[in-house]
Chain A
Amino acid sequence: MSHGDTIPLHPSSQSDIDEIENLINAGPATVLPAHPPSPQRASIPVSSSPFIPSNLPPPPPSAPAAAFQKAPTSTPPSVPAAESSRRGIAADGFGSPPNTLTEPVWDTVRRDLSRIVSNLKLVVFPNPFREDPGKALRDWDLWGPFFFIVFLGLTLSWSASVKKSEVFAVAFAVLAAGAIILTLNVLLLGGHIIFFQSLSLLGYCLFPLDLGALICMLKDNVIIKIIVVSITLAWSSWAAYPFMSAAVNPKRKALALYPVFLMYISVGFLIIAID
């Protein structure tokens, strides 16, 4: 019995684990029938819990059946495999949250990073042929904007020779307050935008300016700085344009877009001017 290293998810799943072990110990010939033929137990098979629609039972028996097929070959690994497949099915049966609590930290971090990268690709490199243009709007998150704002503040602070902490403070405050004020501006103009979604998009559109700040930190020539900042500024504005202009009435598009350009131009100027 290896219950010590498993987390009992639900009483009925615990009984299912007992059931699996009984079936394995009884031998493979009795395994194949579906769950209902164990009448002495009032155990609810995982796949037919009351929350699951009735069309679900066919897939799960095949997975335990496949797991049970492996049982005669090597018993100890099959028990955790069956349990993990059961746990996976149990988790899908009762909803996914228990799975994310028990998964390794690296999985969580990797999942968030992949979401940041996918949002970045959708927002900053908009592909006109992509299949789902609204995906970034639905899957918004605030980790990406947070990283980009802090990175920009740190880069500017490293580039500055004096008053480093004040430069970071000014950059962070301007960007954070600016994103909030821009969203409020769109809402006041009668536009339809969700507050945190807009914060998320404006944060992702800072990514080109991050690259520009990094290049300007490495190369200190004023002419190169001006060229690089102009290019990245145009890129940021081009990335932010579709979201902002779609949110308001077409007659007020310029009123909603002008503050966005103003904020990016002021950040661009800060990048050039920091020596």
Chain B
Amino acid sequence: MEEDYTSLPTSHLLGSVPAVAAEDKTGGAARESSTANLQNSPPANGGYQAPGSPYGGDEQATSSWKGACSISSYTPYFNVDSDIVVDRLITSVYPMNDFTRKIDGNPDLYGPVWISTTLVFMLAALGNCATYLMRKRNEPDIVWNFDVTYVDWAACVIYGYALAVPVAFYFLLQYVGCNASLIRLWCMWGYSLFIFLPSSLLLVAPVEIVRWIVIILAGAASSWFVALNLKAYTDGSDLMVLIVSALLLQFALALFIKIFFFV
């Protein structure tokens, strides 16, 4: 359609009348003003205006709270494909700092939600198995008992950590003056929990020294990942206290997982 330049400026505007652009602007303004009482909008911006935009503005002003309840307002945060998610998962295992660059344009919440849900399930299930195996080594005649409170504890700890810690750091960073985005912080902390999934599989082995080695390695990798990526948000200003506290928090989570679930 390159030869039809008269329709080019308005061909992408929703609802606009292509013939308006073909005339000169005064004719367009006259035509628009004749229908202005239907649209409740004075012609502005050089004579032609997409008729849908005043309605769009009004809708956005009145539906600011309704937006929280409709699904379409959260769809942009789930705009990822399978291969992108797999790529982000693999990047989270190696504590390099290019994760921030990868999620900068398109942070997703799919990863954090389902990684934390999977982690809750695995901690509850494998924690029971591991505790049973460990006790069976000491007392051979113990019976299997599924402790449902493991599910409660796992859900509270993991969901609470994944939700609250990024929010706390968001407010701290805003207070200090760095510009941070809550969605990216949630995304980064959510993906940082991924390394605990394969390590919880390894933690089932009823050998105490193996368990400690596994959890220390996993905790260190995850903490270093969080620290490096948080540094990318606070680049420039000297906020080592925040970064070190994030690192220690992640390591404390790893130790708690070992001590509570894999006794």
A residues with a Cβ closer than 8 A to B are 163, 166-167, 170, 184-185, 187-190, 222, 249, 251-255, 258-259, 262, 265-266, 269, 273-275
Contact = CB atoms under 8 A, between A and B. Distances in A.
B82 interface: yes
Q: Please tell me the size bucket of the interface on B.
A: 20 to 34
Per DSSP, are chain A's interface residues mostly helix, strand or loop, or mixed?
Answer: helix
Interface stretch (B114-122, B180-188, B220-228, B234-242): B114-122
A275 B132 CA distance: 13
A252 B114 CA distance: 14
A85 B2 CA distance: 70
15 contacts: A170-B148, A188-B77, A188-B78, A190-B75, A190-B79, A222-B144, A249-B81, A251-B81, A252-B81, A254-B82, A255-B85, A255-B110, A273-B128, A273-B144, A275-B143
A56 to B, nearest CB: 44
Contacts of A255: 80-82, 85, 110
B223 to A, nearest CB: 26
Most B CB within 10 A of own CB, among A167, A187, A249? A187
B6 to A, nearest CB: 36
B148 A190 contact: no
Nearest to A178: B117
B146 A275 contact: yes
B212 interface: no
Contacts of A251: 81-83
Interface in B102-122: 110, 114, 117-118, 121
A207 to B, nearest CB: 22
A266 B114 CA distance: 14
Interface in B145-200: 145-146, 148, 151
A147 B156 CA distance: 30
A253 B82 contact: yes
Given A188-B75, A190-B78, A273-B128, A258 B148 contact: no
A249 B82 CA distance: 10
Interface in B51-78: 71, 74-75, 77-78
Nearest to A255: B82
A163 B148 contact: yes
A262 B146 contact: no
Nearest to B71: A187
Contact of B74 (A188, A258, A269, A274): A188
Closest 10 CB pairs of A and B: A254-B82, A273-B146, A188-B78, A251-B81, A266-B121, A187-B71, A269-B125, A189-B78, A255-B82, A252-B81
B83 A184 contact: no
B124 to A, nearest CB: 9
B148 A188 contact: no
Contacts of A258: 114
A171 to B, nearest CB: 10
Interface string B75-96: 1011111110100000000000
Given A262-B117, A262-B118, A269-B125, A188 B82 contact: no
Nearest to A163: B148
Contacts of B144: 222, 273, 275
Nearest to B145: A275
Contacts of B85: 255
